[in-house]
Copies of this chain bind each other. A is one copy, B any other.
């Protein structure tokens, strides 16, 4: 598959993904047909299969490319900040603002978890995310900012907490991203340190 795409081709592809993500989130993956997607863009069906191997493939692409995008946001926010705990905070804030802008994706990830064939993508996203955080945590430990411990467990907890807060307060309760980010950061660092810093 892997076509070489022109600029225009890349735009078309992105357009299809975005439209599909919106429809999947609104109506569900299965209730949304490939026809729905292409018709809503006013193009023929061939277009779809020019850019994607299958509907399933498209969905997986959405899942992983969303994660890529989120990660780019985190990295941009972190820049070359030297303090590892501060890097974690910046990443968390960036994530929260991205979640806020992409609330509809919660449904997609929620759905993906219910079918076996999509779980591998979720797992892979997860691994990448954990590895990122683990890196900062190890640095923090090495530099003595936080007590030693299993960085993977901490990373999972941290990510899980952030995601849960996002889902609960951004998606379900519609709170402002700023406030949720504050809560997440505070909880995160508390948790990481084991107790409030005096």
A111's partner among B27, B114, B164, B168 (CB-CB below 8 A) is B114
Does chain B have a CB within 8 A of A31? yes
Q: Assess A113 versus B110: contact at CB under 8 Å? Given A160-B168, A164-B164.
A: yes
C-alpha spacing A159/B66, complex, angstroms: 30
Does chain B have a CB within 8 A of A80? no
CB pair B116–A107 under 8 Å, yes or no, is no
Q: Which of A3-30 contact B (CB under 8 A)?
A: 27-30
A114's partner among B107, B116, B160, B168 (CB-CB below 8 A) is B107
Does chain B have a CB within 8 A of A115? yes
- Give, as a whole number of angstroms, the nearest-CB distance from A63 to chain B: 14
CB pair A27–B115 under 8 Å, yes or no, is yes
Q: Which of A26-77 contact B (CB under 8 A)?
A: 27-31
A110's partner among B114, B160, B164 (CB-CB below 8 A) is B114
C-alpha spacing A114/B115, complex, angstroms: 13
With A28-B116, A30-B30, A111-B114 given, name 17 new contacts (CB 8 A): A27-B115, A27-B116, A28-B114, A28-B115, A29-B30, A29-B114, A31-B115, A107-B113, A107-B114, A110-B110, A110-B111, A110-B113, A110-B114, A111-B111, A114-B114, A160-B168, A164-B164
3 smallest CB-CB distances across A and B, nearest first, come from: A30-B30, A28-B115, A111-B114
| Chain A to chain B contacts (Cβ below 8 Å), 16 pairs | A27-B115, A28-B115, A28-B116, A29-B30, A30-B30, A31-B115, A107-B113, A107-B114, A110-B110, A110-B111, A110-B113, A110-B114, A111-B111, A111-B114, A114-B114, A160-B168
